[in-house]
Chain A
């Protein structure tokens, strides 16, 4: 019976999943703690202010896309292949717009927070970094999410079980990587 499930059973079942995401988290943390990233944090005021919001909204945007895709597949209204289907393209376009709008919004709010805390900060620079990082993460997350969910579904995996771990793991690791790339890319121009 469910209620008899002892703490030890739950512990044993959950530990592997937690350890996998732990490794991903350590990887993200290692990039955050690496020499180039620390140099980037130091040179651009506001990176630490915006990074938690940036990482958290990746999960929100692409997690909801994943949830929509799996519901669509379960209901049979989305075919598990890339077609000209309106539902599929609407969901993908909507999450792309969500991701970009929110990224720019985060840059503006981070700038206001910096201003309020009395520190400097360059609005154009922060918006540029968020646009580049948001765009890179959109391209990666949309293509990987759609591919993995469709291929998984065709092979008999329940997309509900794949989407969550996939989004958090990819979002955290690549969120930090893209943030670093964006800092350097924008640094070339501003």
Chain B
């Protein structure tokens, strides 16, 4: 079966994408670069969790990745609003 090998390679590539996002988050020259890298890290970790769900064959990881997607959207919108106005709720 070639699915475990493909899963291993896919998880490795997703882990490298997550690593690049973390490097950009640490190195980003300004705050908006860090927010963009955080959003990318949210999406890539959601994809990584989805491949983990394929690997274990259970559907429990689906709900976790849905929650991560929703939290990533809310976090990025709140941070963008903070960058724009200086406060989140006005």
Is chain B a partner of chain A in the same complex? no
Residues of B within 8 A of A (CB): none
User: Which residues does A use to contact B, with CB under 8 Å?
Assistant: none
